[in-house]
């Protein structure tokens, strides 16, 4: 990274352009080409953001747990794993927030209410709070290795919430509908272009997530290097004062 003025590379720039094109295609398919739903009308278009958001959050938290596990089990305990875990956690929280907000808007238009203390909504809100806590724990201070160790343990515990969120609609009687694609019946419940738009959203949001993680973990690496450098400077100054 020495001498580099940004966190981007030619590969991430190409990926960024591809993400923009995919999001533009999603906007066209979601808002223009795909038809209205028989019952919900145009409201169904919220699904093309709502579902990909929570999908991406699942991937993000999965990556956080995976990298945390690798960090804790690895011999050399590279901090790079911890930084990717932290970056994925931050972006996951962002996507859960998007999912909660769009879900609330969708709920107002279809259910007639912004929020109910239903199993799916409650477990998703709890997931959001848990990972906000995870991000706060990362900022509690100490050395980079202390940060990595305590946040890795928390990430491995927090990931257990995801099956609870996903299967909450089958475990409890829920106002939230069951999954239309990844359901126990393995039956796809969406018509052609609606399914395509949803799939496009999943791919576009996943690519956006990858692009964001690549940049964020590089920023984190620079932050760690900056704080290490600050410590080195302080130690050198004290040594000079003491004439060591």
Chain residues binding other proteins by CB under 8 A are 34-41, 43-44, 47, 108-113, 116-117, 119, 122, 125-126, 129-130, 132-133, 135-141, 173, 175, 177-180, 183, 189-194, 234-235, 238-239, 242, 244
Task: Quickly count: other Cβ atoms within 10 Å of residue 223's Cβ.
Answer: 12
Minimal distance, residue 12 CB to other proteins, in Å: 29
Nearer to other proteins, 24 or 172 (CB): 172
H or E, element range at 4? none
The secondary structure of 76-100 as a DSSP string is S--HHHHHHHHHHHHHHHHHHHHHH
- CB closer to other proteins, 94 vs 179: 179
Cβ proximity of 74 and 120 under 8 Å:
no
Smallest gap from residue 17 Cβ to other proteins (A)? 31
CA 37 – CA 104 distance, rounded (Å): 19
CB of 9 or CB of 42, closer to other proteins = 42
Q: What is the nearest approach in angstroms of other proteins to the Cβ of residue 18?
A: 28
Q: Measured from the CB of residue 174, what is the shortest distance to other proteins in angstroms?
A: 9
For other proteins, the closer of residues 225 and 232 by Cβ is 232
Host H or E run for residue 197 = helix 192-242
DSSP 3: T
Q: Quote the least distance from Cβ 65 to other proteins, whole Å.
A: 18
Q: Which residues pair with 41 in a beta bridge?
A: 37
Query: Does the CA dihedral 183-189-190-196 come out positive or negative?
Result: positive
Helices 192-242 and 79-110: crossing angle in degrees, nearest 10, is: 140
| Closer CB to other proteins, 14 or 145, in the complex | 145
Furthest-apart CA atoms within the chain: distance in Å: 81
Quote the least distance from Cβ 180 to other proteins, whole Å.
4
Q: Which is nearer to other proteins, 74 or 191 (CB)?
A: 191
């Amino acid at each position: 990274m020495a001498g580099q003025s940004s966190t981007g590379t030619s590969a991430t720039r190409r990926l960024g352009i591809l993400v923009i094109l995919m999001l533009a295609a999603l906007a066209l398919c979601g808002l223009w080409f795909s038809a209205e739903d028989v019952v919900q009308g145009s409201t169904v278009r919220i699904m093309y953001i709502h579902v990909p958001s929570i999908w991406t959050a699942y991937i993000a938290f999965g990556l956080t747990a995976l990298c945390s596990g690798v960090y804790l089990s690895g011999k050399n305990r590279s901090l790079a794993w911890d930084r990717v875990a932290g970056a994925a956690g931050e972006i996951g929280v962002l996507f859960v927030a998007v999912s909660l907000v769009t879900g609330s808007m969708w709920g107002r238009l279809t259910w007639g209410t912004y929020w109910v203390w239903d199993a799916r909504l409650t477990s998703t809100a709890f997931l959001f709070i848990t990972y906000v806590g995870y991000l706060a724990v990362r900022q509690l201070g100490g050395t980079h290795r202390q940060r990595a160790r305590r946040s890795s343990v928390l990430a491995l515990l927090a990931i257990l919430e995801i099956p609870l969120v996903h299967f909450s609609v089958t475990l409890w009687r829920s106002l939230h509908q069951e999954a239309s694609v990844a359901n126990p019946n393995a039956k796809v419940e969406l018509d052609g272009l609606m399914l395509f738009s949803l799939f496009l959203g999943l791919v576009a949001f996943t690519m956006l997530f990858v692009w964001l993680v690549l940049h964020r973990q590089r920023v984190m690496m620079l932050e760690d290097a900056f704080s290490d450098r600050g410590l080195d400077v302080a130690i050198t100054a004290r040594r000079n004062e003491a004439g060591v």
